[in-house]
Amino acid sequence: MEITSADDSALLEVRDAQAKSTLAKSELIFDNCGNRYFLAKLFDEGNPSGSEVPKSRYEKRISQQTMEAQEHVPTHRRVQQGN
């Protein structure tokens, strides 16, 4: 999966994920380990199927040292035209 902004882009390895219910809004879910945030899951509005980002070795190591929580962030999806 590729995530882009006006200034940057990133390629991420993802696998399938399922939400417990259909979401009313698109959402990014971040794992919070201390003062660091790691993208964990992505879901589109109205679709219980989404994507999960596997934990990196660094995230696994950090999460062993700190209490882990999750932050849910509503998003807007920009549709690319011409692709």
Q: Taking the domains of the chain in order of start, what are their residue ranges?
A: 14-74
**How far is residue 13's CA from residue 7's CA, in Å, rounded to a whole number?**
21
Average pLDDT, the chain: 85
Q: Per 3-state DSSP, what percentage of the chain is helix, strand, and coil (rounded to 5)?
A: 10, 45, 45
Residue 69 in tokens: 């929580």
- Interval 4-28: pLDDT, tens: 888 999 898 999 999 888 888 899 9
How far, in Å, CA of 53 to CA of 68, rounded? Answer: 16
Greatest alpha-carbon pair distance for the chain in Å reads: 46
Q: How many angstroms separate the CA atoms of 31 and 68, rounded?
A: 7
Q: Which residue do the tokens 């596997």 mark?
A: 54
Whether the predicted pLDDT of 83 surpasses 60? no
What SS3 class is residue 64? helix
Q: Poorest-confidence range of 10-14, 31-35, 52-56, 75-79?
A: 75-79
